[in-house]
Amino acid sequence: MKEIKQFDVIILGGGLAGIYTALTISSSLHVGLFVKDAIERGSSNLAQGGIAAEVIWDENKIEEHYEDTLRAGSYINDKEATHVLVEEAGKNIERLLSLGVEFDKNADGTLVTTLEGGHRSRRILHAGGDDTGAHIMQNLRDALAQRKNIDVYEDEMAIEILHNNNKALGVIVINQQNEEVYVLGNKIVLATGGIGGIYKKSTNEKIACGDGIAMAHRAGVRIKNMEFVQFHPTGFYIEDQIGKTFLISEAVRGEGGILKNIEGVRFMEKYDKERMELAPRDVVSQAIHREMFDTWSDHVYLDITHKSKDYLVKRFPTIYQHCLDNGIDISKDYIPVAPVEHFLCGGIDTDVCGHTSMENLYAIGECANTGVHGANRLASNSLLECIVFGGRVADEINQQKDTFGKIDVVLPDMVFTHKKYNFKDIRVEIRDVMSKYVFIVRKEEDLLLAKKLLTKHYNNLKKINVFSRYYYETINMVTVALLIIEQALARKESVGCHFRLD
């Protein structure tokens, strides 16, 4: 007998996009929120810099945010979606405040703002200094705990979308007891985050395996712009360290941090004379990559020693302490940094209301391709994207709630094998291949080699259908890696994060 659950709305993912959407959905609807790990482990919790938003309606300022977003994205952003992003920022920041989120404030009670790369003005709100994501997420989890209509399932992983005639009907979940649960819903929202787990070093947790994107792809949903993987210029460098990398926020450059090569020479002037350290991330990461190559080294430095210790401890408490724990006093020492995987600009293709190419299936946050980032995301626009499009999805669901009813579905007979395989070698190889051949600088021959190596694993994994989180994470990782490679091969020109050496 198959276990079946039914909700009005199913949300997959416990980051900002998932929780904000759940909290914005009417409390008269029954929401099931599924998170494959502990709810505190998502990438939103790690966001340092902040959330870009013009909170006071000023057409010139909003237009400037729009222009900065397009400029960072090499002007291939979706214009309509980008207008929505910047224009609906204020309204959604208000909603966040009403849900109990507390941003850092000046003595007069106004919100403090900072600057990051690619922004022409100080429009980035932050919380807890450089601990914005953790603060926002804690406030929202507190609000979630008060909501009786939302059932949260942690450590329960969705593995397949149930659909019929291009209409989503639910998902299959592996529950905590390692059993199969068929979860049905009138609306299904994918908010499953990014893909950092397919690279050796990422600012994301290793659990970011592109699950939602791979699952949607298996269900025939359109996926776009996967070649635009953003590398953050300043991951904290520790020799031979792999896995989750501590981020040195772009806000450190926003407050005057200077990049220097291993010889102590400032170099950004060679790459972007006008914007220097505050050029968008694609430009800065590619500049650092080149500088590391030219100086035969695997890192550069970020110098913020001209600021006082008092200022640094107050403005960047998390970064200050983390560096100190690793032997670097940032008020006296240069910070060793190197680019690491940070954010996927593309993903499950959506329109401005979060609709995917499948009826009743929405995608929001990092797993979605709303088009707002174009070829490279502007700093601190990712949390903004989560709330603006999550808010839109919730508003639409609220408007349609009277049409919801019991879901009739003939449950598929999935045949699973039950094995304890952990596929460790394959995961290690995926990360090696992606970090070597599908990194900041790309060439056709490297991409073809990566495709060949990973297709072999994909074909082998497809032959078995193991009912386990390990299996699904691994096949999801190979799937998204191949989507990145194929879309990178198809884009012959260099644009934004996609830099073709050939």
Under the binding rule (CB under 6 A), the answer on residue 461 touching ligand SIN is no
**Nearest approach, Cβ of residue 231 and ligand SIN (Å):** 11
What length does the chain have? 502
Supply the minimum distance, in Å, between the C-beta of residue 69 and ligand SIN: 12
Q: Which of 249, 318, 468, 479 binds ligand SIN (CB under 6 A)?
A: 249
Helices in 149-295 by DSSP H: which ranges?
211-218, 250-254, 268-271, 281-294
- CB of 464 closer than 8 Å to CB of 417: yes
Q: Report the run of H or E that residue 11 belongs to, with start and end.
A: strand 3-12
Unique residue bearing structure tokens 């922004």:
119
Q: Among 43-51, 163-171, 314-322, 353-361, which window interacts with ligand SIN (CB under 6 A)?
A: 43-51
Q: Compute CA distances 246 → 195, 200, 339, whole Å.
A: 16, 13, 11
Considering only the stretches 248-256, 296-304, 314-322, 436-444, report the one whose residues sit in contact with ligand SIN under the rule CB under 6 A.
248-256
Measured from the CB atom, is 44 or 356 closer to ligand SIN?
A: 44
Tokens of 297: 């080294």
Residue number with CB closer to ligand SIN (256 or 412): 256
Choose between 47 and 144: whose C-beta lies nearer to ligand SIN: 47
Stretch that binds ligand SIN, among 23-31, 146-154, 176-184, 379-387 (CB under 6 A): 379-387
Q: Distance between CA atoms of 375 and 73, rounded to whole angstroms? A: 5
Minimum gap (Å) between residue 264 Cβ and ligand SIN: 23
Report the interhelical angle of 16-24 vs 132-145 (nearest 10°).
Answer: 40
Please give the full DSSP string across 365-428, using - where no structure is assigned.
GGGEE-STTTTSPPTTHHHHHHHHHHHHHHHHHHHHGGG--PPP--------B------HHHHH
Which residue's Cβ has the minimum distance to ligand SIN? Answer: 49
Q: Of 266, 466, 225, which Cα lies nearest the Cα of 349?
A: 225
Q: Which stretch binds ligand SIN (CB under 6 A): 142-150, 212-220, 245-253, 449-457?
A: 245-253
- E-assigned strand segments in 117-249: 124-125, 150-153, 157-164, 167-174, 180-190, 201-202, 223-224, 229-236, 243-244
Q: Which is nearer to ligand SIN, 29 or 251 (CB)?
A: 251
User: C-beta of 248: minimal distance to ligand SIN in Å?
Assistant: 8
Q: How far is the CB of 33 from ligand SIN (least distance, A)?
A: 24
Which residue in 382, 468, 476, 479 binds ligand SIN (CB under 6 A)? 382
What's the DSSP call for residue 234? E
| DSSP letter for each residue of 323-376 | HHHTT--TTTSPEEEEEEEEEES-EEE--TT-B-SSBTEEE-GGGEE-STTTTS
Give Cα separations from 484 to 227, 336, 456 (angstroms): 5, 29, 16
49 binds ligand SIN (CB under 6 A): yes
Is 225 one of the binding residues for ligand SIN (CB under 6 A)? no
The answer to whether residue 379 forms part of the interface with ligand SIN (CB under 6 A) is yes
Question: Of these, 192, 225, 357, 380, which contacts ligand SIN (CB under 6 A)?
Answer: 380
CB atoms closer than 10 angstroms to residue 423: 21
Closer to ligand SIN at the Cβ: 7 or 389? Answer: 389
CB 334 within 8 A of CB 260: yes
Q: Which is nearer to ligand SIN, 250 or 446 (CB)?
A: 250
Q: Of 12, 21, 68, 71, nearest to 387 (Cα)? A: 21
**Is 251 a residue that touches ligand SIN (CB under 6 A)?**
yes
C-beta separation of 66 from 108 below 8 A = no
| Contact characters 189-208, ligand SIN, x per CB under 6 A | --------------------
427 flagged as catalytic: no
Beta carbon nearer to ligand SIN, 188 or 279: 279
In the complex, least distance from residue 131 CB atom to ligand SIN, rounded to whole angstroms: 10
Point out which span in 170-178, 243-251, 424-432, 441-449 binds ligand SIN (CB under 6 A): 243-251
- Among 250, 277, 341, 473, interactor with ligand SIN by CB under 6 A: 250
Q: Exactly one of 21, 43, 44, 48 binds ligand SIN (CB under 6 A); which one? A: 48
Stretch that binds ligand SIN, among 90-98, 244-252, 384-392, 415-423 (CB under 6 A): 244-252
Q: Does 245 bind ligand SIN (CB under 6 A)?
A: no
The one catalytic residue in 253, 281, 377, 442 is 281
Binding residue count for ligand SIN, defined by CB under 6 A: 10
In the complex, the residues that contact ligand SIN under the rule CB under 6 A are: 47-49, 247, 249-251, 379-380, 382
Supply the residues annotated as catalytic: 281
